[in-house]
């Protein structure tokens, strides 16, 4: 006889949903602040498909690193937590399903945004909410 270990089901009401959101947001902010992005230099390459920079032309130092977007997907898009997110206007229906909460903090820094998204999703998962962080470079 095999045993399966399942997480206990947590009944989430409005008060707990608010607590989860606050905890997840704070965890995301802390993760984003702790993340130190790798800076980049943007310029014109010496050849059309080159990977080197022609420093005789204008260059730009970007301390926030690569640019991008990140979000947390919560699936399925129902339940008290998603209802709470809707009530505070945080997120929207996901293009590929679920409910998406986009990371709006940290300017265009992909690395900080994705750190936020993973931390936020981790808190949600701790409460039994099916969530994951995702992102893309711009």
Residue-range domain boundaries for the chain = 14-35+66-137
- How far, in Å, are 19, 42, 124 from residue 23 at the CA level? 6, 36, 9
Q: Under 8 Å CB-to-CB from 81, ≥6 apart: which residues?
A: 12, 17, 20, 21, 74, 124, 127, 129
pLDDT band at 5 (very low <50, low <70, confident <90, very high): low
At 54, phi and psi to the nearest 5? -85, 100
pLDDT tens-digit profile of 99-123? 999 999 999 999 999 999 999 999 9
pLDDT tens-digit profile of 37-94? 999 989 999 888 888 899 999 999 999 999 999 999 999 999 999 999 999 999 999 9
Size of the chain in residues: 138
Q: Is the pLDDT of residue 8 over 90?
A: no
Q: In the prediction, which pLDDT does 97 show?
A: 94
- Helices and strands (DSSP H and E) totals, the chain: 3, 6
In the structure encoding, which two tokens stand for residue 8, read together?
């206990």
Q: Is the pLDDT of residue 4 over 70?
A: no
């Amino acid at each position: 006889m095999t045993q399966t270990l399942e997480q206990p089901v947590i009944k989430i009401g409005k008060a707990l949903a608010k607590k989860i959101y606050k905890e997840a947001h704070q965890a995301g902010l802390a993760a984003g602040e702790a993340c130190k992005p790798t800076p980049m230099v943007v310029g014109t390459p010496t050849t059309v498909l080159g990977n080197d920079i022609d420093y005789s032309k204008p260059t730009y130092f970007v301390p926030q690193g690569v640019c991008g977007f990140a979000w947390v997907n919560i699936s399925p898009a129902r339940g008290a937590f998603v209802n709470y997110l809707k009530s505070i206007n945080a997120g929207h229906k996901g293009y590929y399903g679920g409910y998406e909460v986009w990371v709006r903090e940290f300017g265009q820094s992909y690395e900080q945004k994705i750190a936020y998204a993973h931390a936020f999703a981790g808190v949600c998962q701790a409460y039994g909410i099916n969530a994951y962080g995702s992102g893309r470079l711009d």
